[in-house]
Structure formats: structure tokens, C-alpha cells
Structure 1
């Protein structure tokens, strides 16, 4: 039996798969709006939120979910969060404006990250909760507040691990100075509690931070302060791969290739963070997070059920409940997981002198990758039916979604068949604009006009590094919804969730103001009775 080709198969949400499988749906969207495009699926976001809430409802009497806006600029996601009744975490004046424009009131907005004086003035005027990053911020808030209503603040702390330094938050070593400022300004500042954000997904680090913050709560009581909130931040992981064994097999082959064993699997001298020494491959690769198989909901459940030694083995949830602390969370990735894909067209395919095959697309690397990371899941090539001489006129535009490495190709006249290894290249005149620096095996050689789908790009991939180099505009963002048996595609700014199902209002949140649902403007409509 022939060994399967190296592959990094992506996990695809059934609703996204149904849209990509629908004949004509994707091509109609591309013709109408152009290429490349980002597609977001707010109903997938709503499902993720529902699962997240279910875990919290099981463990906690009081909590607040603050959607981390920075994960994606999509208004459709923000409107879905607002309609669901959760809060939002913003980190810039522009994100604040986006949240307010989407209907969030000041009671449901938290502001994190470093802030300059002008931004602080605006935040105080708005009456939102300020997650204080440093002592200067805290001091200026007290000075700027004047005799107005108290400014609600959380104090972000850091320094839980002596061997790790963070550029964010007030170090534990400076906490007494923070207590002095809070105590001296109780008439101007309403101190809600403590916050932290752990960049690592390791449970032990988060538990250590929670335990340290619980100790700070006890210290705060001694300063006449009454904290009632513990904000544990975000950082809940995503699951990208649909087959962990094949992912591990690909990485093993890649490591072997770095030792000059077997076929070359990376562009140029790219080692993805590994280093070769003494005939062995060492280090942690830059793509390690794509190997994760633990969903965010399990990570959250395990955290809430973790015992705290200093509290007699009671769980995190029990200690929070016993001390009447409201747990706040700032999920971003966990809520948009599998709720976004990016689609581009093949412009041309070329072969280099050494036989390397490049598939050039009408998109650049910065539109589908977060910063310098390598996205270790395979793009999906959808062959255009324009290449199929047997396809009737007006019939579907793309072949059904399939795993390229596992599917026998359908022969096409004058077209090379059989598996082919390629690199996907971007549209910029820069050597570094390689969308994949790792080799991707496809069932057959792509052709101009074919569509390439990059799965699960909703979290940071779409926006974090997006640029307008060579005056190329950033890809348009569209929202896809399945309603009444058909798919509808909206400009992102036009999407409204009020006719969707599965979004009950949140409990334990203040009522919203009058809801004024605008009428969606000109959705693209594709019948599909078989979609979930």
C-alpha cells in the first residue's frame, strides 16, 4: 500500500463546509465582490459563544464574557456579541468607536492595553471600565477624573514568574504603590478588582496567576478596598488540525528534511524556529500552536475545576464563588474559531529551474498569516468548473470541498494529473512574500482561475499584519449566514443578527436599550436546503 502524502488537513466547521460545497455559491460571491475576500460566519461565532457559556454556567454563579475585539475587525462579529448580551474588550479609540457604533453601552465595555493621555480622557468621559496597565495610567485617571462620577477600573498585574518579564501590567513588586494610589483616590476611582493576561496556554501558569491574584484580594481588604472582580484574560486555544496523527507525521518528515533526509520540505533555508546541532533537530517551532488538540471549552472547564493548594484543594470556581468574586474572561480566538476563511484566486503557476512549483495567488502573505508565523494547515484548492469541458453551461463554479492529498484527481484534457508538491506565493514583488514556506501536496496541479481557501483565518490572520503594499487594497470582508434554507452573503458592515436563531440574550447583564434592527441591504442569496 502506498504511504499517504504528507498533509496538514484542516478542521472545517460543517456550516463553512456546506457553503464551500454549494454549487455556484462561492463563485457567485467572488464574481459579485471580487477576489480576494475574507468570509466570516457569525453563526459559527454564536455556536462557540453558546458552548463557552455552557461551561461557565456549570461552574460559576457570576461571570462576564468580554469579546476581545482585537482578534478581528469584523463588525458582524461585534454585532453578534452585542446582540448576545455579552461585554466587549477594546484596545484602541477605533475599537471603542466600533463597539459603541455596534450598540454597546459603557457598562459593557472594558478597555485594555497601553493608553495615552488623550485616550484616557475619552475613556473617562465615556464611563467605560478601564483595565489599568501601569501606575502612570492610574495616577492620571485620578487626576483627570475630577469631581465627576467615579471611574471604574481594574488593575492589571504581572510578574507571577520571576524568570519571565512582561511589558504589560503592574509588577507584583510595585503593588503597594498601586494600593496607596487606589486608597488615596477612593472618591474618584471605583476599584473593581484585578486582571491579568497570560500569553501562554499552559494551565499551570494561569493557575499560578489566579492564586497570586486571590492573595492580592486579601491584601486589598487590608487597604480598605473591596475588589469583586477577577479578570483572567483570554488566551484560550484553537484547534486547527482535523488529524493530529497526520500533523505529527508531517512535522516528523519536516524535521528529517532539515537533516537532509528525504525530500526538501521548506522554502530556502527556512527552519521554522528549529536549529540543527550535532545531527539532531532542537527547539520549539514557530508553528507549535497549530498542533493543539484541546478545545477552548475543555481548557476552560479544566481551569475552573483545578484545585488550589493554598485554599485547601478547593477549585478555582469554588474559591471565586465562596469569595463572591465575579470572574471576567476576554476570549477572542475561542469565539471566532472556525468562523472565518479567506479565499483567493490562482493567477498563474510557474516552475523554477530546480523543478519547484509555485502557485501564485492574487493575495499577499500578510492577509492570511499573523505576523511572522507559519500557518501549518493546508489550503484547499477548489477547481473552477470553467476548466471542466463536460460541465453544462451555467452549472456549478467549484468542485465539492475535499481533502486534496487524499482524493484521486479527476482528469482534465491538457492538464497534468497526479499529486504535486507546491508552494503558494503572494502577489508582492518581494522574495519574502511566500504564503507557505512549507511544501503543500495537492491532488493535482492548480490552474489559473481556481480558488484557494485558507481555513480558520478569523483569529488575527485576517487583520493583524494586513497591509496595502503596492497599493493593493486589503481583502473585502463579507458575512455569510444560513437562513431559511439558503445562504446569504452580506457586506460585513451590513450584517445584522436579529433574524438569526440560537442567540438567547445573556443572563446577569443589564438590559439593553431599545433595539432598532436595520434591514439587511442586498444580501447575495444562494438556495441550499441541505446545509446544517
Structure 2
């Protein structure tokens, strides 16, 4: 995917054909990332489980399935979407957090693999199913890893998983109901840069694993860091692959049989594939700043406002670098919805080729946790989505209409 084109289709042509705001995804980039992950763990029995909360568009799910990637879901609705995409229950992992037990029961009835992440649910599952249904246990390894505190999920105060310090309570419940625990799972967080956090978490999980006799799976989650700007640090996949593969193979040797090694990448597979296109409504010159106001806001792409996330932004309509200026890129929502946050997580500006009203403004790394977190805030319409595959742009989600805003409203006499 080049800067101004996706598979040789100019971004401005896509904006003209489908309108803005618009999410565009490059299938080639997703396929490339799948291959990188597989190559990094080529010496083990690897299974990739796409964490679909990153992007649940049905066509993205079908693309994953076509390329042999299974799926991880966190809600009954994601589970239904996975089945619509053609996944069978055995290819789906359900990894909920703090849900009611009826969601666990539904997943069990559909034959999915289930991650149990608290002692109460572990007890209920054991009491109801005994050893008739296998399950995984999500452990909290007490490891700090991830880009910031909002996306760290394995530290001592995290809500996710059962603490490794509760090993005795876990084993008591498992033995009480003769439960069949087929896997152990952990997820360190998102944007983990190097092998250290993964190694610490894997060590903690593997130290406990020998206590379970029916294991088939060690699931180390995801969280591989992707680049957001030129020269950005990323996870060294070769290093992570070598270190974790060696530790895993050594465990399998001591355990007495080969297990599957699972990962659940979301952002790693789809983030770089996505570009968000919007139109510059106004260029507002102020004594202190020059603002570019676009026809979108935090309702469509909330990561900068929610996480202080950096996204590369450029003027797709103007490739002339001879006249550049710093602009603060902002949205049309009645909030402070700045897109141009700095790498330090503060509101800032971006040096861009000269912007005029009507230009197409492109925001990169928009494939993960962007549309999937979008809303109709301010009663604005959700944007369309397009997948570029085999050199052809295909509409994969229609733009909202006002009918979608009012569809579920019930008018009563007041």
C-alpha cells in the first residue's frame, strides 16, 4: 500500500467513487501480516485466532477464514458474525470478561472453545459440565506490557484473568469437578514492543501448565506493536518467534506431547491495512493555530481522543511538497475532537502539504479499533467501508442513512 494509492487505486478516486467519510482496507496488507506471523513461528504447531473486536466487518472475517485464520470473539453477537462468515464452533474461541453465565452456556452449546477468566465462572462451568466439555483458563501473569495503561491487560490490577497467585484455588475447583482443561490463556496487552513482556508472561503460564493433565493449547494472546509513523519502533517478530518457540518446544518436550501454540492478534493483522478518508470542510486560520476541520469526528475514529493515539495524517489531494504548513486536524463533533495528537499523547499539529477546502484528508492505521468503536454520536451517520482486493475496490458496508438513526426509536404520545 503506497502513500497515495491502495493497490494502484488513488485514494482520491476512492473518495470520489464512494464518498466520504470512508474506511478503506487493503486485503494485500492483511494477507502479508498473516504470512509474517506464520513465518515467525514456523517451527511450532501454530494457530492464529483473529481477535475480531478489532474489526468485525463480515468481509474481513471471510478474508481471514479464506487464509486459514481462525477467530476469537468476545460477545454473542461477534460469535454470530463469525458463524455468518462460515466459521464452525470448533474454530471459534469465546474470550469474555465479566459476562453473565448464560453467554457462557450459549457458547458451550455452539461448540466454541471458551476462556474462563474468574473463579466464580470456573466453578459454575465445572459444576454444570464436569469433564464433558473442555475449556481454557485465562490467567493473569502479573506482567506490565503494552503501549499505555488503558491497553495493558496482564498487570496485577487488571480486571482480566485469574491471578497466577490463585493457582491453588484454581486447581481445587478443577479437581473438585474433574474438569477437562484443554488450554491456558493470557493476553499481555497491546503495543508490546519486545520479547521481554511476552517471555515473562509465557514463563508464568508455562510454570503452572504442568499442573493440568489434559492440555492441548497454550494461548499467549496478542499485542504485537505496529508502526504508526516513519521510524516507529515495532515488535521484533523474529526475536519474539525464536524466544517463545524455543520456550514452548521445551515445555512440550517436558510435558510429554506436542501442544498447539495460539496467538490472538487483532491490531497486528488489520491496523496498517486501513486508511480513513475524510473531506476538509474548512481551513480556519487563527492567530495561534491553523485548523483543518473535516467531515468526521470522534464518532467515527475515536482512538486519538480515547487513547491519545498517534495516527499519520496527510493531504491525499496534494502531492506537492513545496508548500507545507502545520495544521491541527479537528472534527465536526461538539467536543474537542482533535485527530492530530502528538507521539507524546498531546493535542498538536501535523506538517502537511497545503490544504484547501474540499481536499481529501487521509488518516493511516485505521484498520483496527476504528470503525468497530464508531457511534452515531451527535446523530451523525456511520461511514461506508470498502475492501480493495485483487486490484478492485468493493463496497463492504453501506453508508448509514437517516433511517438507520431512527430505526429502533419508538414514538409515544407525550
TM-score tier (shorter): 0.7 to 0.9
Which residue does 2:149 correspond to in 1?
none
Matched, 1:153 2:141: no
Matched residue SS, 2:81: helix
Matched, 1:113 2:105: no
CA-based RMSD of the aligned residues comes to: 2.4
TM superposition shift of 1:142: 2.7
TM superposition shift of 1:490: 1.5
Distance 1:234 1:455 in 2: 21
Which residue does 1:43 correspond to in 2?
28
Matched, 1:439 2:349: yes
The answer to whether the 8 A contact 1:160-1:208 is kept is no
Which residue does 1:361 correspond to in 2?
294
Matched, 1:193 2:98: no
Matched residue SS, 1:219: coil
Distance 1:55 1:159 in 2: 23
Distance 2:392 2:8 in 1: 15
The answer to whether the 8 A contact 1:121-1:144 is kept is no
Of the two structures, which has the highest relative contact order with CA contacts closer than 8 Å and spacing of 6 or more? 1
User: What does 1:333-412 align with in structure 2 at a 5 Å threshold?
Assistant: 333-352=267-286, 354-370=287-303, 372-383=306-317, 402=319, 407-408=321-322
| Aligned with residue 55 of structure 1, among 27, 40, 44 | 40
The answer to whether the 8 A contact 1:124-1:145 is kept is no
User: What does 1:91-130 align with in structure 2 at a 5 Å threshold?
Assistant: 91-114=74-97, 115-130=99-114
Distance 1:170 1:434 in 2: 37
CA pair 183-164 structure 1, distance change in 2 beyond 3 A: closer
User: What does 1:118-517 align with in structure 2 at a 5 Å threshold?
Assistant: 118-145=102-129, 150-161=132-143, 164-186=156-178, 189-199=179-189, 201=192, 202-220=194-212, 225-242=213-230, 244=231, 291-295=232-236, 297-304=237-244, 315-322=246-253, 323=255, 324-352=258-286, 354-370=287-303, 372-383=306-317, 402=319, 407-408=321-322, 418-430=323-335, 432-436=336-340, 437-444=347-354, 446-464=355-373, 466-482=374-390, 487-492=391-396
Any runs of at least 4 consecutive aligned residues in structure 1 with deviations exceeding 4 A, and if so which?
A: none
Which residue does 1:84 correspond to in 2?
67
Matched residue SS, 1:463: helix
TM superposition shift of 1:107: 1.1
CA pair 211-19 structure 1, distance change in 2 beyond 3 A: closer
Matched residue SS, 2:307: coil
| Aligned with residue 34 of structure 1, among 19, 27, 31 | 19
Which residue does 1:287 correspond to in 2?
none
Matched residue SS, 1:123: helix
Distance 2:195 2:6 in 1: 36
Q: Deviation per CA, 1:160-185, whole angstroms, max 9, x where unpaired?
A: 35983221111122222221222232
Matched residue SS, 2:187: coil
Distance 2:53 2:225 in 1: 16
CA pair 333-302 structure 1, distance change in 2 beyond 3 A: farther
Matched residue SS, 1:442: strand
CA pair 27-212 structure 1, distance change in 2 beyond 3 A: closer
The answer to whether the 8 A contact 1:345-1:451 is kept is yes
Which residue does 2:409 correspond to in 1?
none
Distance 1:31 1:85 in 2: 34
Distance 1:159 1:49 in 2: 27
The answer to whether the 8 A contact 1:320-1:326 is kept is no
CA pair 29-17 structure 1, distance change in 2 beyond 3 A: closer
TM superposition shift of 1:42: 2.0
TM normalised by structure 1 equals 0.66
Runs (5+) with no aligned partner, structure 1: 1-12, 245-290, 306-314, 384-398, 409-417, 495-532
CA pair 209-169 structure 1, distance change in 2 beyond 3 A: same
CA pair 195-362 structure 1, distance change in 2 beyond 3 A: same
TM superposition shift of 1:471: 0.7
Distance 1:32 1:209 in 2: 47
The answer to whether the 8 A contact 1:196-1:231 is kept is yes
